[in-house]
Chain A
Amino acid sequence: MSLTLQNVSRVVEGETWIDDVNLTLEPGSFNVLLGRTLSGKTTLMRLMAGLDRPTTGKIIMNGVDVTGVAVRERNISMVYQQFINYPNLSVYENIASPLRLAKMDEAEVDRRVRETAEMLRIDPFLDRLPLQLSGGQQQRTAMARALVKDSQIILFDEPLVNLDYKLREELRQELRALFKARNCIAIYATTEPNEALALGGNTAVLNEGRLLQMGPTAEVYHQPKDIITAEMFSEPPINVVPGRVNEEEVTFDDTVHFRLNNDLRRLTPGEYQFGVRASHIGLVPHSDDDLELPVRVDLAEISGSETFLHVHNPHFDLVLHLSGVHAYQVDEEIKVYFPTHKLYAFDDQGKMVHSPARMREQ
């Protein structure tokens, strides 16, 4: 029951929304589509669902070309970002509606509806109308409707965005558990790298309608193919610093340079972009080859119990991701420690040419 997209493009009014996407999703897999808003996540999902037709390319399910097949002929489910239920039907009827249309017998419908509702913990509300429920319960109803039938593909288009933080975490965990036992293709779109990491499975990174990289989530995270993937797949985005490599040194600018360590020695001399994750830069040295950098504070952004510290030196800006709440004055001069052995290097085309040794082993 695999789903294959072959050279799929979609052009709307002269604008390319999806640009030549090739990918194959295996049954029983959980796939995350990661990309910013307008990167084409929803469009791609609509193409997979059959709600829109690709301008060129083929969509193949189990070896059968389904490009022109209408949605209702395909066996899929979809959960939207907005809470979409039939407002005039009770929660029970909402969940039952796909089964009723499949002409299932009444006892089986009842058993399935109750089972699914229980799984999503909306069983006490079966007699209510969707609009009498809270946002989280409404979305659970929509999910129940998607899960109640045995779809081959289940699409989630940022289903948790409109929910509050706590509820989001809770539902995310449940969702992952719900799919463990199923042999369907689950596709989950999100803008948040952290959500992709929390969900695991596979991740496909989308940018401006192009599929940048697809693979197991951890692999994509640790081994991004290029600079855009690396930037998209970390929160805050990975720091990118231009630098030059010669025979024995890496030079970021006239004042900052360090000797090539074993790790970076493979790089041929030339211009590179160096990437370092915000969480890897520290306020104290972690190992002896850390590079000490004097910087000025621009902004300390406190988010929950974490601090995003924006700093700059005369040549580049950096963002540090610190755990705990730290207060800094603007323009305060501090020293940060740059981990030279945790650097990614990208060539002038943006392709990754080097990743940290520890990451490669994983």
Chain B
Amino acid sequence: MTQSSTTPMTHEKTSQGRASQNTKVTKEQAPVYSRADRKARNANLRGRFGLALYVVLLLLPIYWLVNMSFKTNTEILSGLSFFPADFTLENYAKIFSDSTWYMGYVNSIFYVSMNMVISLLVALPAAYAFSRYKFIGDKHMFFWLLSNRMAPPAVFLLPFFQLYSSVGLFDTHIAVALAHCIFTVPLAVWILEGFMSGVPREIDETAYIDGYSFPKFFVRIFIPLIRSGIGVTAFFCFMFSWVELLLARTLTSVEAKPIAAIMTRTVSASGMDWGLLAAAGVLTIIPGMLVIYFVRNHVAKGFALGRV
């Protein structure tokens, strides 16, 4: 790298009319490129150090959470320690053996999956329509979809609660899944529309010319073409629904209670069960990590709503 960067410099100097002082030029050269070299190396080091610091700061709370989950409550409360002195799996054992605990995960995963499926089933045709057809008010409607996301979930809390109570949907998985759709469907439509618009319209036409019917074309040709977009969309739906607490907690009581609501049980009259809470927290992170692993290469495009 240093080689190539110094060659033009020599040229520059000779062109400035110092060609006759050839020896001088070469003498000058030595400090010039070692300084540049040092500079580059310093910049590199600084960059690495900055990045390392950033990662450490970012991961510190997660490390602390994992650390805590393997400690006993006495150790957590006794003072600062970076590694569990008395390593225990008791906190995890409690979660996996007590059905009121593990059912929280089951409930959460259940309504999150339902939400993902419903969102995709609704958003796929909608996004196709927005990407391929022109109709009256299409642009306004498209924007209106996104503007739904601008309202805080709390706004919808009361109407949902009242409505679900009166139609008997209260405390069911589908209730939470449907409530979350109000946020995930617009997002899904936006992301999928971006991915779909990246597929040339001529592919659709070629398919019709070849004799595909619309449903056959959509399932056999089109969906495989945007499968990474579907993966990313599912991930974003998952992220929203998995993290959302307010609606999920309010619309459920026993049968469909999400894990985040169950975690509040660790606060009791006898104090807080720190270790258990930490273990539950660690287990909450894991599904998110698994999901993001599958879409890691496409997720940046998803953040740009598929428009890259």
Binding site for B on A (CB under 8 A): 49, 51, 70-72, 76-78, 80, 82, 84, 86-89, 97-98, 101-102, 142, 145
Contact = CB atoms under 8 A, between A and B. Distances in A.
CB-based closest 7 A-B pairs: A101-B211, A88-B224, A98-B210, A84-B202, A71-B208, A80-B202, A72-B211
Interface of B: 200, 202-203, 205-213, 216, 221, 224-225
A14 to B, nearest CB: 15
Contacts of B202: 80, 82, 84
A101 B213 CA distance: 9
Among A49, A78, A82, A145, the most chain B Cβ lie within 10 Å of the Cβ of A78
A80 B225 CA distance: 19
Nearest to B208: A71
A78 B203 contact: no
A77 B212 CA distance: 13
Given A51-B205, A71-B205, 6 more contacts: A72-B211, A82-B202, A84-B202, A87-B225, A97-B210, A101-B216
A109 B206 CA distance: 19
A86 B209 contact: no
A49 B209 contact: yes
A209 B205 CA distance: 22
Given A82-B200, A87-B225, A72 B206 contact: no
Contacts of B225: 86-88
A86 B211 contact: no
B203 A86 contact: yes
Contacts of B212: 72, 97, 101
Contact of B208 (A72, A86, A88, A89): A72
19 contacts: A49-B209, A70-B208, A71-B205, A72-B210, A78-B206, A82-B200, A82-B202, A84-B200, A84-B203, A84-B206, A86-B206, A87-B225, A88-B225, A89-B221, A97-B210, A97-B212, A101-B212, A101-B216, A142-B206
A145 B202 CA distance: 14
Nearest to A102: B211
Contacts of A102: 211
Nearest to A73: B211
B133 to A, nearest CB: 14
Given A88-B221, A88-B225, A78 B205 contact: yes
Contacts of A51: 205, 208-209
B210 A101 contact: yes
Chain B CB within 10 A, most for which of A72, A89, A98, A145: A72
Contacts of A142: 206
A80 B213 contact: no
Nearest to A84: B202
A77 B209 CA distance: 6
Nearest to A142: B206
Which has the most chain A C-beta neighbours within 10 Å: B209, B212, B216?
B209
Contacts of A88: 221, 224-225
Nearest to B224: A88
Given A78-B206, A80-B206, A84-B203, A72 B221 contact: no
Nearest to B203: A84
Contacts of A86: 203, 206-207, 221, 225
Contacts of B206: 78, 80, 84, 86, 142, 145
Contacts of A77: 209
Contacts of B200: 82, 84
A131 to B, nearest CB: 11
B209 A72 contact: yes
Nearest to A77: B209
Contacts of A97: 210, 212
Contacts of A145: 206, 210
A144 to B, nearest CB: 12
A76 B205 CA distance: 12
B87 to A, nearest CB: 49
Contacts of B207: 86
A76 B206 CA distance: 10
Candidate in B203, B208, B210, B212 with the most chain A CB atoms within 10 angstroms = B210
A102 B213 CA distance: 12
Contact of B209 (A71, A82, A89): A71
Nearest to B211: A101
Contacts of B203: 84, 86
Contacts of A84: 200, 202-203, 206
B211 A78 contact: no
A58 B129 CA distance: 29
A78 B209 contact: yes
Contacts of B224: 88
A70 B208 CA distance: 9
Contacts of A87: 225
A157 to B, nearest CB: 9
A97 B192 CA distance: 26
A89 B221 CA distance: 8
Contacts of A101: 210-212, 216
Nearest to B221: A86
| A70, A82, A84, A89 — most chain B CB neighbours (10 Å) | A84
